[in-house]
Structure 1
Amino acid sequence: ELPTDRPRPAVQSHRGAKVSRSLKAELADALADLARQEGSTLFMVLAAVFALVLGRYAGTRDVVFGTPIAGRERTELEGLIGFFINTLVLRTRLDGNPTFRELLARVRRESLDAYAHQDLPFEKLVDELSPERNTGRTPIFQVMFNLHNEPVQVADFDALDATPIGIDRGLAKFDLTVSISELQHSDEGGLFAHFEYNSDLFTAATVSEFTDYYVLLLETFVADADLRLNELPSLAVPQRIERADWTGNILTHFGTWLSRTPKAIAVSSGRSSLSYGEVNQQANRLAVRLLSLELTMDSEVPRIGLIAAPDTPLVVALVGILKAGYAWVPLDPSWPDTRLVAIARDAGLGAIVTDPLLVDKAHLLSALLLPVIELDGKVTADDPQVTIEADALACIIYTSGSTGAPKGVMQTHQGVVTQVGRYSQALGLSPADRLSGLSGFAYDAAIQDIFGALLNGARVCLYNVSGCGNMAGGRSLTENTALLTALVADSITVVHAAPSLYRYIFGGELNCSHDLSSVRLVVLGGEPVRRSDFELYRSRFAGGTRFINGLGLTESTLALQFHADMDTRLVGQSVPIGDAVAGLSVALLDDNGEPGWCGEIVLTGQGLSPGYWRQPQSTAERFGPGSVLRTGDLGRRLPDGHIVYVGRRDEQINIRGHRVEPAEIEAQLVTLAGVADCAVTVVERQGDPWLIAYVVAAVPHDQPVAAALLDALREQLPAYMVPQAIEWLAELPRHANGKVARGALPKPRFDHEAGVGPVPARSELEGKLQSIWEEVLQLETLGVHDDFFSLGGHSLLATRVIARIRDQLNIEVPLINLFEYPTIAGFAALMTHLSCRETGPDSRDKLISVSR
């Protein structure tokens, strides 16, 4: 379906508006000529282009829309008075990258097939297909297209000029209805297009853009009917930023600012701050200590594990490891010890660097007989004499792996410099900026924050979001108000965060002390960004603040960006990820490797990762010759040229900014006692992603305790990779090739048998509602977050719930409220909210107390 500007209401209101466009006679004549040349009709040409526009906006190659037909194919019916109109459903496939001439042939065949069956009533088709009924949309199709080619009689009043005036009824039967009329008797001729739209879903600006693109494609194909679909023009070409000279190793660029502003603050935290000069001298001290270990090279420079809290020593460690000519491997202290040991072994670490807060954690890896170097804050003035090539390994960042074990993503000095250069140019970073350090340093986003500051003479302010290390004297900022207060106190200019953290920080109430006027950029990435995130930005930040959404994998750090301001108009409920940043090109490839407007996002350019550490097969699968990266992410290109993220082509999922391979979780889960088989997937619950493990017990009817399985996983996996619920199945559904049919996995129940106990009622009102639901649904242990309709509720049972609320609580609630708020928690919150407004002047949507 078309992406909407506003959320679809539970029940259609049919409120509508219209946008109209005139098409000049020259274009109309050219379209008619094209139709004659191809043995089709004007309707077929117009419908083919219309299907193409729908496909571009909806991001699909399978388009369905309705069209009315007169139903008078027999001549003896022409003179009869009566309503013979029927509705046909036209389905157009846009796959295979055809030329428009070939697409028109498809539409011609499909239209003729539909005409041959025009006597089948649309109501009968609905009965036979029996689609899921929804009060918020019409069945089978939501878009209607029609061409009126009947003669238009123009009134002639001799001396008076008469001009037809369209009447805006303020109604819309469908999401979008397009009616095109041939102006056969007007002086100018041509076509008149009338776009009637549901104003609850779309804005006038969106529909106007839709009409502009429709006209653009009509003009395009009239000029060249052999143009292929992947060559379609865009309404606007995104501006590209010219690439500056960002070459060499990381330390060269750091040294530029060290020599210019040695006393400028480079990094600060709740505990301390360090200038560029102080970072350099403490890093020299660490480099000398590392070099004294006399580590030997193998195929790459020595790798050094780094385990540290988000504090100033972290930045000293990063620079010091690089000054020794070595590469850093981040070890997140929140990860289980078994995972840290596995990474240390896989990377072949030569030593571990840590800060005083986490020295005990570092020594837990002593079983590997690795030397542990504790940062002591001492300084060495002289830089170590080490030659560092631009293509030398700078870091290995471990992510979730599809083979069942974490995989290391390599990056070189030149790769880091290139990525930071692109980030710096796109954001216009300068020494005056203060960048937020909200991301864990074991993730690629930290490269943008830390080196985005250090290579631009700016300051990075680190925040202990996770409470890591119990920073005595510092700030453990796990509470959103404390985080917000710290950001304000540090006069942050660039806020960079994962969307889930951004919502947590800025989604609450602000007070007068939370002055965000210093923020000039809000930068989001790591997980899909919603339209509500953009609206939050507009409500929280000053008028000059800009909004940036981007896509960046660990393999590329930064790939695409979308820039917006307070006046930017979005289309649909998602925020685009934009277009490729300077120095990169992007293509959307379909399953056949053909470029088009939707498909896998494939990057080409410099600065990409050289591949995966000691995994040549995985590297060959994702990386191609000529600096090509197949991201596995799916996107669709909007008519304005920007790209929208639509999902993955594989099973990889995104959990609060972390890319997770279900295979790694499954590999750990299947080794646990009592588990014969399993599959892990993600579902959305209350707007948040939930990891669900579907498990087959080794012994039927003798299932292990779900909580025990989850506890065992916590010993092996990071917290964000531990499923939030377990569903027990007799067997996993599979395709004919033996692979798990993830689409056939049942919907989770989220009950106590699934490993997550039902959340009990937390108030008297929730308790009363719970009793009513249990009685109506004939269930015993409901939780306040259980969905009424997912538990077997339907409209008839919903009326019984409303009746019992009226009888037992003496309150009248509209039935529609239960469809809008189908959980006990949500329904109780609504009742509480509305009851607080009873004394207000508008009683339209209030609860009504019923006298007894």
Structure 2
Amino acid sequence: MSTLVVPEHREFRAGWLAESIPARFLAAARTHPERPALDGLTYAELARRAGRVAAAVRGARRVALLLDHGAQTIAAILGTLGAGAAYVPLDPRYPPVRLRRMAALADADVVLTSPGHLALAGELLEGCRVVDVTALAGESSGWVPVDPDSAAYILFTSGSTGEPKGVVQTHRGVLFQVAAHTNNLRIGPADRVSVLSSFSFDMAVTDTFSALLNGACVVPVDVRTAGLSELAMAAREITIYHSTPTVFRYLVDALADGERLPRMRAIVLGGEAVVGADLERFRRHFGDSCLFVNGYGATEISFAVQNHLTRADAALVPAGVVPIGRPLPGTRVTLEPAGPEGQIVIRSPYLAGYWCAPAADAVRFGTDPDGTRFYLTGDLGRLLPDGQIAYLGRLDRQVKIRGHRVELGEVEAALSVLPTVSKATVVARDEHLHAYVIAESAAGLRDALSDVLPEYMLPTSFTALSAFPLTPTGKVDTTALPTHQPITTALPTHQPATQASIPTHQPVTQASILTGLEEVIAAAWRAALDLPQVPRDQNFFDTGGHSLLMAKVQLHLETALGRRLPLTTLYTHPTVAALARHLSQEPAPSPTDPADRMTRRRQARRDRTTPP
């Protein structure tokens, strides 16, 4: 086994679990006032900015955060916690309908936002006070003593009833995760810790506080807007990297052949199954002193099980799905009913709970006779001979889509209320959702769903049927549903409306319809979508695309065109023809030395951490 070299660090003491998150942050800020908390923002400056937020929300119980990924959100989180309130992150990219539901379910007192989202913030919850964080100034500070067992946040996950489900965690529960992350990875002031996940997910919670409570630097990157080239640039300076396996694969595949990231000393993956090919990527691009961590957990506990591998260990792991490892200290994991395979059950005093949902709480949580709480994950596991646990999938209809937890029932419920849909069923295949509806046409369903569901919950395909195939017990026979077509149109009315009447499509001849610039764009689409051809007027997202694949298109086009191409441009012009028209009318920037481009992007990142 390789010997891992780690920088100087400080053990996260068990006694600190009796404190609060803001108390531990202020201690770090006093110890490291001039160290960068984020690029362009020191610990002292972040503490002052958070103090102004705390003063603005003091007296509130729950504070909604309608802010973009970055320094403003981090200051708002710290300030909200410092005022003794719980924060409720609302991703501005979610549909307004979903944001209003989440704000109402949380019963927020205040919405913290920025100028670009003021109008939306005012529509979220009637009577809720709206505060523009960029307008806060002065030296005021609203820090108050905080009970470690008080609520720190409410994060909303997909719910089987059709409504988002709130998970509430305490300061003590967050600090338990920070302690495990700190001590397992030896995080210290010299580290730069990535925060790639939206703050609506627990992954960002662990990453942010594992950095800020240890004097390290937080490196927030929103792949959805920055793209893979920006992530690859940031990764060259990151020491602790954490993402879903999907994002990790896109990052590594964007690197040049033989390129290594020598500063990276820990790669932590979670949210999806890790496979042998991921370990091969790790061995190709990272050094002997880098640690590979395959983690398993849930929003209700965050990490509970981990498998730590060096490059030497990775070479010995058989092909296939990589085991998730062994329980972390402070958690006990069993398989129930007892045996070689069973449901994964987690016991810990640091479990979260559901917000105002006693029925859901009673189904998933329980208490042993000795007072220990347990959580029924709904995941199936197998105990391996060496004591490790292998993840085998879900027991219910919950699925993981690019690391996001999705209840198929919530997507079905959103489809079923649309006026043109009589019934709906949704299945997951190859990490994609496919919707089947009883309706005259599937046209327009994706646009209608995008008004109420976030992007990761939108099906890749929509197929209209006149009836669903049924099992002998009267349930939808999902195995008999037709394989989806990559492009969906209305059912021809002259055909019998059966499962066999799925429309076929004439092949598109690229050479006959594409201009030179369109061919360059189409080639990027084909590479990202793994399709032999793409229509010039088909929306990218209706052809099986999603945000991470759009980032891959961006990377291909930047290389092919030799110019910077913001992701927002691709989202605004989501067809081959539309993007070609836009780019042909927009003058390309003058060629710039790669070193100058890197300097400019670093400056842009610093600018994003500074308020107007």
TM category, shorter: 0.7 to 0.9
SS at match of 2:68: coil
1:391 to 1:481, Cα distance in 2 relative to 1, 3 A: same
Is residue 608 from structure 1 mapped to residue 351 from structure 2 by the alignment?
Answer: yes
Equivalent of 2:51 in 273, 284, 289: 284
Is residue 393 from structure 1 mapped to residue 151 from structure 2 by the alignment?
Answer: yes
Q: What are the residue-to-residue correspondences of 1:772-851 with 2, within 5 Å?
A: 784=532
> Could you tell me how far 1:690 is from its partner in structure 2?
1.4
Moved over 6 A (4+): 754-759
Equivalent of 2:103 in 330, 344, 367: 344
How many residue pairs end up in the alignment?
488
CA contact (8 A) 1:600 1:634 kept: yes
> In structure 1, what residue type is equivalent to 2:345?
V
Q: What are the residue-to-residue correspondences of 1:346-745 with 2, within 5 Å?
A: 346-365=105-124, 368-376=126-134, 378=136, 381=139, 383-384=141-142, 386-467=144-225, 477-478=226-227, 480-488=228-236, 491-510=237-256, 516-568=261-313, 569-589=316-336, 594-609=337-352, 611-625=353-367, 626-684=372-430, 689-697=431-439, 703-704=440-441, 706-735=442-471, 738-745=474-481
> Which residue of structure 1 aligns with residue 575 of structure 2?
none
1:360 to 1:758, Cα distance in 2 relative to 1, 3 A: farther
> Could you tell me how far 1:605 is from its partner in structure 2?
1.1
1:356 to 1:759, Cα distance in 2 relative to 1, 3 A: farther
> Which residue of structure 2 aligns with residue 306 of structure 1?
65
> Could you tell me how far 1:695 is from its partner in structure 2?
1.3
CA contact (8 A) 2:461 2:485 kept: no
1:498 to 1:758, Cα distance in 2 relative to 1, 3 A: farther
SS at match of 2:418: coil
Is residue 274 from structure 1 mapped to residue 45 from structure 2 by the alignment?
Answer: no
Task: Give unmatched runs, 5+ long, in structure 2.
Answer: 1-10, 490-501, 513-530, 535-612
> Could you tell me how far 1:425 is from its partner in structure 2?
1.6
Task: Give unmatched runs, 5+ long, in structure 1.
Answer: 1-240, 296-301, 468-476, 698-702, 765-782, 787-852
Aligned-residue Cα RMSD (Å) equals 2.5
1:294-337 deviation digits (Å, cap 9, x = unpaired): 54xxxxxx111001112211111000001111000000111000
CA contact (8 A) 1:243 1:422 kept: no
1:525 to 1:620, Cα distance in 2 relative to 1, 3 A: same
1:593-630 deviation digits (Å, cap 9, x = unpaired): x2122111100012110x21111000010011121011
> Which residue of structure 2 aligns with residue 163 of structure 1?
none
> Could you tell me how far 1:383 is from its partner in structure 2?
4.5
1:726 to 1:457, Cα distance in 2 relative to 1, 3 A: same
> Could you tell me how far 1:246 is from its partner in structure 2?
4.2
1:450-504 deviation digits (Å, cap 9, x = unpaired): 111111111111113222xxxxxxxxx21x223211222xx21011111111111
> In structure 2, what residue type is equivalent to 1:622?
R
> Could you tell me how far 1:410 is from its partner in structure 2?
0.6
> Could you tell me how far 1:761 is from its partner in structure 2?
4.9
> Which residue of structure 1 aligns with residue 555 of structure 2?
none
> In structure 1, what residue type is equivalent to 2:408?
P
- Using the alignment, how far apart are the partners of 1:530 and 1:465 within structure 2? 22
- Using the alignment, how far apart are the partners of 1:634 and 1:756 within structure 2? 38
> Could you tell me how far 1:430 is from its partner in structure 2?
1.3
> Which residue of structure 2 aligns with residue 8 of structure 1?
none
Provide the TM-score with structure 2 as the length reference: 0.75
- Using the alignment, how far apart are the partners of 1:500 and 1:390 within structure 2? 35
> In structure 2, what residue type is equivalent to 1:585?
R
Provide the TM-score with structure 1 as the length reference: 0.55
1:385 to 1:517, Cα distance in 2 relative to 1, 3 A: closer
> In structure 2, what residue type is equivalent to 1:311?
G
The structure with higher relative contact order (CA 8 Å, sep 6+) is 2
CA contact (8 A) 2:260 2:287 kept: no
CA contact (8 A) 2:55 2:140 kept: no
1:564 to 1:740, Cα distance in 2 relative to 1, 3 A: same
> Which residue of structure 2 aligns with residue 846 of structure 1?
none
- Using the alignment, how far apart are the partners of 2:384 and 2:160 within structure 1? 31
> In structure 1, what residue type is equivalent to 2:46?
V
> Which residue of structure 2 aligns with residue 252 of structure 1?
23
> Which residue of structure 2 aligns with residue 332 of structure 1?
91
1:330 to 1:375, Cα distance in 2 relative to 1, 3 A: same
- Using the alignment, how far apart are the partners of 1:539 and 1:408 within structure 2? 40
